[in-house]
C-alpha cells in the first residue's frame, strides 16, 4: 500500500522566516511526487517532481526530490501571511491511471 | 485554464437518501477522481475513471458508486446516505499520462448528512 508521511503536522512562523516542509513516501513503481497548496477551498497544484536532485522553483517556493532516500522538501523563503495554508504532498505510481496518494498535510500559519 | 465544476458547494441530506454529486470538467481530460477530505484523515480516494464508462475503486468505495456516461462528467452517488458520509467531497481531473502536472480540483462539496 502506498504511503505518504508529512512533517511537521503544523508550523507557526513570522513573516520573513524561511520554512522547510518534509514529505517521505513509500510507493510501488514511483512515477512522480506532487505538492499542492490548499487554502480555504480546493488544493491548487504547485510542483511535480520526477527526478532526484533537480530543484523546481516558483518565486519564493522551491522543492527537491531524493528518490534514493524517498523524500522531498518544500522550501518557502521570506514567508508572507498569504502563504498560510495546508501544504499537501502526494505520490503517483505508474500503474494507477494517474491516481495519487496524499499525505495528511502540513498546516502553515504565518503571523504578521 | 482547466476548470472543474462541482454542482453544489453545500448540501444537507437526510439519512437514507440517495445523493448525487456532479462534477464537470471542460478540458477533455481522460482521468477523473473523487476524493473525500476529513480532518486528521487527509484526502482519501473513493473512485476514479480513466475513460468513458470505465471506473475503478479507490481506497474507500464502500457506500458509493459512480457514473461516467460522458467524458466531461463524473458523478458520485451515495446509494443510501449515512452520517459517517458527512465530509468534504473533492472532484479532480488530470490529462492522461503521468508527466503533465497535477490534478485540477473542483471547489468541493461540503455534504452534511443528518
Torsion over CA of A56, A46, B43 and B72, rounded to 10 degrees? -120
- Residue B29: closest CA among chain A residues belongs to which residue? A98
Band of pLDDT at residue B27, cut at 50, 70 and 90: confident
Of A40 and B14, more confident: B14
Pick the closest to residue A89 from A45, A30, A54 (CA basis). A45
Contact by Cβ (8 Å): A48, A63: no
Considering only CB atoms, A97 lies closest to which of B31, B35, B90, namely B31
pLDDT digits (tens, 9 = 90+) for B43-100: 999 999 988 989 999 999 999 999 999 999 999 999 999 999 999 999 999 887 656 6
How is residue B8 written as a grid cell? Answer: 453544489
Of B19 and B29, more confident: B19
Contact by Cβ (8 Å): A72, A65: yes
Cβ partners under 8 Å of residue A97, min gap 6 = B31, B48, B50, B56
Considering only CB atoms, A34 lies closest to which of B44, B48, B102, namely B102
**A-to-B residue pairs, Cβ atoms closer than 8 angstroms:** 64
Determine the Cα angle at A8 with ends A7 and A10, to 5°. Answer: 135
Q: E strands along chain A, which residues?
A: 3-7, 10-14, 19-26, 30-38, 44-49, 56-58, 61-66, 71-76, 85-93, 100-102, 106-111
Question: Residue A12 pLDDT > 90, yes or no?
Answer: yes
pLDDT digits (tens, 9 = 90+) for A62-111: 999 999 999 999 999 999 999 999 999 999 988 767 789 999 999 999 99
How is residue B23 written as a grid cell? Answer: 462534477
What mean pLDDT comes out for the span A6-33?
Answer: 95
User: Could you say which DSSP state residue B53 is in?
Assistant: T
Cα B58 from Cα B72, distance rounded (Å): 20
Contact by Cβ (8 Å): A103, A90: yes
Amino acid at each position: 500500500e502506498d504511503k505518504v508521511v508529512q512533517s511537521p503536522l503544523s508550523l507557526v512562523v513570522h513573516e520573513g522566516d524561511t520554512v522547510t516542509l518534509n514529505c517521505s513516501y513509500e510507493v510501488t513503481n514511483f512515477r512522480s511526487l506532487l505538492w499542492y497548496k490548499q487554502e480555504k477551498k480546493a488544493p491548487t497544484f504547485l510542483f511535480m517532481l520526477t527526478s532526484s536532485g533537480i530543484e523546481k522553483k516558483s518565486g519564493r517556493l522551491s522543492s527537491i526530490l531524493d528518490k534514493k532516500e524517498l523524500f522531498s522538501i518544500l522550501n518557502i523563503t521570506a514567508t508572507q501571511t498569504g502563504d498560510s495554508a495546508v501544504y499537501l504532498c502526494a505520490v503517483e505510481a505508474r500503474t494507477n491511471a494517474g491516481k495519487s496518494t496524499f499525505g495528511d498535510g502540513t498546516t502553515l500559519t504565518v503571523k504578521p | 485554464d482547466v476548470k472543474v465544476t462541482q454542482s453544489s458547494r453545500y448540501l444537507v441530506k437526510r439519512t437514507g437518501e440517495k445523493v448525487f454529486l456532479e462534477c464537470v470538467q471542460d478540458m477533455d481530460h481522460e482521468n477523473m477522481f473523487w476524493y473525500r477530505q476529513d480532518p486528521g484523515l487527509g484526502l482519501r480516494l473513493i473512485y476514479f475513471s480513466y475513460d468513458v464508462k470505465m471506473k475503478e475503486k479507490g481506497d474507500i468505495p464502500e457506500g458509493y458508486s459512480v457514473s461516467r456516461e460522458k467524458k466531461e462528467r463524473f458523478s458520485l452517488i451515495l446509494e443510501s446516505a449515512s452520517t459517517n458520509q458527512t465530509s468534504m467531497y473533492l472532484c479532480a481531473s488530470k490529462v492522461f499520462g503521468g508527466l503533465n502536472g497535477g490534478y485540477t480540483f473542483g471547489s468541493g462539496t461540503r455534504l452534511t448528512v443528518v
